[in-house]
Amino acid sequence: MTGTVRETHGACQAQCAPSAMEDRSLIWDGPAMWKHLKAWREFRKLSQEKVAGMLGKRHTTIGRWERGEMKSSTTDLEALARIYGATVSQVQMPPEAAEMVSRLDRTQGILGSLDPGDLEQWLAMGERLLRR
């Protein structure tokens, strides 16, 4: 990986930001996210035809998703993530960032389960580690 996930995502943040769409079954409308889908497919050495066959779609649909010409449903994005051996969070970033995204997902789970006092202690511990 050439940079941290924050640096990688910072470079495409404007393009990766979730859009305010009316249809809740659709997520992420940014062109950079769609480039990540292509990167994941190529990372797994799969053709558009192969992925399309696994999804019961046309290969042109896969290409349109990857070029950002057509939005994918949440269901289709979840299926793509399974095909690529990744999570939905991971396929929204480049394959090189997969390990960091996994760590961030774990961190989010921990943070979501802590009460405010424990959360502050956890954050303070992290800040102390950074100062070492």
pLDDT band at residue 1 using 50, 70 and 90 as cut-offs? very low
Query: pLDDT tens, 72-121?
Result: 889 999 999 999 999 999 999 999 999 999 999 999 999 999 999 999 99
Residue type, 97: A
User: What are the structural domains, with CATH classification, of the chain?
Assistant: 5-131 (1.10.260.40)
